[in-house]
Amino acid sequence: MKSLQEQDTEIFELLEKETDRQNYNLELIASENFASKAVISAMGSVLTNKYAEGYPGKRYYGGCEVVDIVEDHARDRAKKLFGADWVNVQPHSGATANAAVYLACMKPGETLLGFDLSHGGHLTHGSPVNFSGINYNAEFYGVEKDTDRLDMNKIRERAKEVKPTMISIGASAYPRDYDYEAFRNIADEVGALLWMDMAHTAGLIATKNLNDPLPHAHVVTTTTHKTLRGPRGGMILVGKDGENTIGVTAAKSGRTKNWGEVFDSAVFPGTQGGPLMHVIAAKAVSFGEALQEDFKTYQTQTQKNAKAMADKFIELGYDLVSNGTDNHLILIDLRNKGLNGKIAEEALGEAAITVNKNMVPFDTESPFVTSGIRIGSPAMTTRGLKEAEFEQIAVLIDKVLQKPGDTENHKKVEQEVRDLCDRFPLYDFVTA
């Protein structure tokens, strides 16, 4: 058989270009990371050929004896990593994991109370353009104007007002941690299910660098490719008290199966067909990596780096949403600098600094322009950068944002970015 390079030069050259881009850009998108060579190898394996509808020991296809063991490893390692009672590692993405939770827990037309999308929440938590907002009645809670933080008393009032079937926690752009116990008390008070989408913070939660939702939420979903540093994909978990709570889940969904089966059947056949066994193998590899001691060191450094960068930005006169961060990301409100997110993202892109424009709470700009940028530390921390380099990154960003229209200046900053990237090499391969 031919190699990719021999078979398809056009695609191979594009992969070379993308590898070069990843090697020589400051990757600061908070939802991205750099998977290891081992994880990438598993994804690029012959397991992509295998159909395995169903679950280990209960497949609809022959020849599953090897992939059964692979999926068992992925499940066992995930359970160990998060102290979960039950997991499903088949969701193709975070959004499909969430779709399965809705299918299992809510009937169309029932009410979800979710984190306001313009305050950091995710599309799948009730956006009117997403299945969650189309099929369900989405109501929202948000952060307070003076603190940019959640006020649990206000959320309790909101929950009493809208009487949700399910309350969701979790966001794509919230720099603070959550009080899961308080959320659970509210859910119990109004008879709602509690769902935490820890897509962004799963890695930090696995190492207990952030509060743990599993003992409190009825169900937890995640992506596997953000702070968790695995392959692109999703997962559903239930904590130790799942057995007590699933009775509620089953009743609400009109099903009588036990709790594992409720979510398993919501994934397959509920929302997906055959699992991506090559991705599940890569998930197993990444969970194995996350169970090593150095993963704790990595998450701690990710958090320290975000904090160091936040402090530097504040020193440079930037306005940070909630005035700092507890986790891996910061959100900068650029209005006091006379800038918007679109201009900033484009100018930084010219200097090989990759961030994304982002709405800030109570934004006055449209989602296509936005008043803010979101900056995350997970990817560059994987490359080995520490606090000093993250402070340097804040200075480089400031250099660009001081003169967003000055392309000559951007070129000079790009050279500094290249020098920094050279000190922390990344990929020495195009295909693993």
Residues with a catalytic annotation lie at: 51, 53, 197, 223, 226, 232
Supply the minimum distance, in Å, between the C-beta of residue 170 and ligand PLP: 5
Q: How far is the CB of 72 from ligand PLP (least distance, A)?
A: 23
Residue owning tokens 């913070």: 201
Neighbour count for residue 406 (Cβ, 10 Å): 15
The residue (of 197 and 345) whose beta carbon lies closer to ligand PLP is: 197
Judge contact between 68 and 74, C-beta under 8 A: no
The residue within the footprint of ligand PLP, chosen from 74, 95, 194, 355 (CB under 6 A), is: 95
For residue 8, what are its two tokens? 């398809």
Q: Is 367 annotated as a binding residue?
A: yes
Give alpha helix (H) positions in 106-215.
131-135, 152-162, 180-190, 202-206
Q: Which residue has the tokens 């200046």?
A: 409
Q: What is the DSSP letter of 87?
A: E
Q: Is 225 annotated as a binding residue?
A: no
User: According to the annotation, is 31 in a ligand binding site?
Assistant: no
Contact with ligand PLP (CB under 6 A) among 67, 86, 94, 347: 94
Residue 392: CB minimum distance to ligand PLP, A: 27
64 has which bridge partners? Answer: none
Under the criterion CB under 6 A, does residue 278 sit at the interface with ligand PLP?
no
**Would you say 98 or 249 has its CB closer to ligand PLP?**
98
How many angstroms separate the CA atoms of 11 and 330, rounded?
A: 35
Q: What are phi and psi of 22, to 5 degrees?
A: -65, -35
124 is a contact residue toward ligand PLP (CB under 6 A): yes
Report d(CA 205, CA 325) in Å as an integer: 15
Beta bridge partners of 137: 111
Q: Which of 27, 71, 139, 197 binds ligand PLP (CB under 6 A)?
A: 197
**Binds ligand PLP (CB under 6 A): choice among 101, 199, 214, 347:** 199
Structure tokens at 264: 């398993």
- Nearer Cβ to ligand PLP (64/198): 198
117 is in an annotated binding site: yes
What residues between 170 and 189 interact with ligand PLP by CB under 6 A?
170-172
Q: Single out the residue of 159, 210, 204, 207 nearest to residue 183, CA to CA.
A: 159
Burial tier of 127 (Cβ tally within 10 Å: 0-12, 13-18, 19+):
middle
Tokens of 163: 């009487």
Of 195, 236, 230, nearest to 216 (Cα)?
Answer: 195
Q: Minimal distance in Å, beta carbon 93 to ligand PLP?
A: 3
Q: Which of the ranges 92-100, 240-248, 370-378, 410-418 carries the binding residues for ligand PLP, by CB under 6 A?
A: 92-100
State which of positions 320-349 bind ligand PLP (CB under 6 A). none
Binding residue (CB under 6 A) for ligand PLP from 158, 176, 200, 328: 200
Q: Does 374 bind ligand PLP (CB under 6 A)?
A: no
Q: How far is the CB of 115 from ligand PLP (least distance, A)?
A: 9
**Amino acid found at 405:** G
- Residue placing its CB nearer to ligand PLP in the complex, 23 or 172: 172
Using alpha carbons, select from 329, 409, 387, 365 the residue that is nearest to residue 28: 329
Q: 374, 333 in Cβ contact below 8 A?
A: no
Residue 429 annotated as part of some ligand binding site: no
337: Cα separation from own chain's centroid: 29
**CB of 327 vs ligand PLP, minimal distance in Å:** 12
Query: Among residues 23, 25, 33, 93, which is the contact residue for ligand PLP, using CB under 6 A?
Result: 93
Q: Exactly one of 25, 31, 132, 286 binds ligand PLP (CB under 6 A); which one? A: 31
Distance CA 250, CA 259 (A): 7
Which residues of this protein are in contact with ligand PLP, per CB under 6 A? 31, 93-95, 98, 122, 124, 170-172, 197, 199-200, 223, 234
Binding-site sequence positions for (6S)-5,6,7,8-tetrahydrofolate: 117, 121-123, 366-368
Binding-site sequence positions: 117, 121-123, 366-368
